[in-house]
Structure 1
Amino acid sequence: MATSEVQTVSATSDKVRLVLAGALVIAALAAYYLLAQQGVWAQWAGMLLGLAASSVAFFTSESGRQLIAFGRDAVREVKKVVWPERKEAMQITAYVFVFVVVMALFLWLTDKTLEWVFYDLILGWKK
């Protein structure tokens, strides 16, 4: 039986950084609405500065560093993927399309057959 490892934020400085990041997001949204009288440029500048500060606070925490490491690992794995050539991709797409059409016809035929059996033969209801 596999056990999943649960990791929590343990260091006080990391907790403070995460709370600060959340507070800065709220401050950025508040700045957007509070700077409405100063114009659109001030609104967006206040919000973007707040979000940038929040991002810095988050990415300097342990959770942020783990997220960055996860992203790097994901990019490394995607680079290992062998993508099909255009011809192979087109053939697979055609196979899938044909299968869907055949399955749709099969299900339609099954539905009509069951409708005929139940309504016409068993119940005697004619349309």
Structure 2
Amino acid sequence: MADKIKLAVAILVVLAAVAGFYVYADQSTLLRVIGLLVALIIATLIIMQTAPGRTALGFLGDARTEVRKVIWPTRKETVQTTLIVLAMVVVVAIGLFLIDSFLLWAVRYLTGPGE
């Protein structure tokens, strides 16, 4: 029950921040954005006090651990893969252009010259 109340309060904080952002439209955009960010931080801190928030925090910690375990490609591998992808994009683009040109020619041939 306490978690539901905390989540409701966090949602109300976010809704109030968004409403305030638009209510004070005549104020500086920088101040409104800062106010919105502060409210989002407060809502996040409230959410982290709930069971779902602690679960999410644990998930983020686990995700960070997994990212550290990843064997990232070397610069050379990254460049080679990028060049292969670019080459394939060019090949597919040319192929689609040729197919489109053929279909355009075929439709013009079948429908006759336009006026």
TM-score (norm 2): 0.72
Higher RCO (C-alpha 8 Å, min separation 6)? 2
Q: Kindly provide the amino acid, as one letter, of the partner of residue 2 in structure 2.
A: S
- What is the rounded CA distance, in whole Å, between the counterparts of 2:106 and 2:19 in structure 1? 66
Between Structure 1 and Structure 2, the one with more helix by share is 2
In structure 1, stretches of 5+ residues that fail to align are 1-11
Q: Kindly provide the amino acid, as one letter, of the partner of residue 111 in structure 1.
A: D
In structure 2, stretches of 5+ residues that fail to align are none
Q: Figure out how many residues of one structure are paired with residues of the other and give that number.
A: 109
In the TM superposition, what is the alpha-carbon distance from 1:19 to its structure 2 partner? Answer: 1.7
2:112 equivalent in structure 1: 124
In the TM superposition, what is the alpha-carbon distance from 1:20 to its structure 2 partner? Answer: 2.2
Is 1:115–2:104 an aligned residue pair? yes
- What is the rounded CA distance, in whole Å, between the counterparts of 1:107 and 1:96 in structure 2? 16
- What is the rounded CA distance, in whole Å, between the counterparts of 2:78 and 2:42 in structure 1? 44
In the TM superposition, what is the alpha-carbon distance from 1:60 to its structure 2 partner? Answer: 0.8
Larger radius of gyration between Structure 1 and Structure 2: 1
- What is the rounded CA distance, in whole Å, between the counterparts of 1:31 and 1:111 in structure 2? 52
SS in 1 for 2:113: coil
Task: Map Cα deviations across residues 33-68 of structure 1 (whole Å, 9 max, x no partner).
Answer: 68x9xxx98xx57x83x5554333211111110110
In the TM superposition, what is the alpha-carbon distance from 1:105 to its structure 2 partner? Answer: 0.7
1:18 equivalent in structure 2: 7
In the TM superposition, what is the alpha-carbon distance from 1:30 to its structure 2 partner? Answer: 6.8
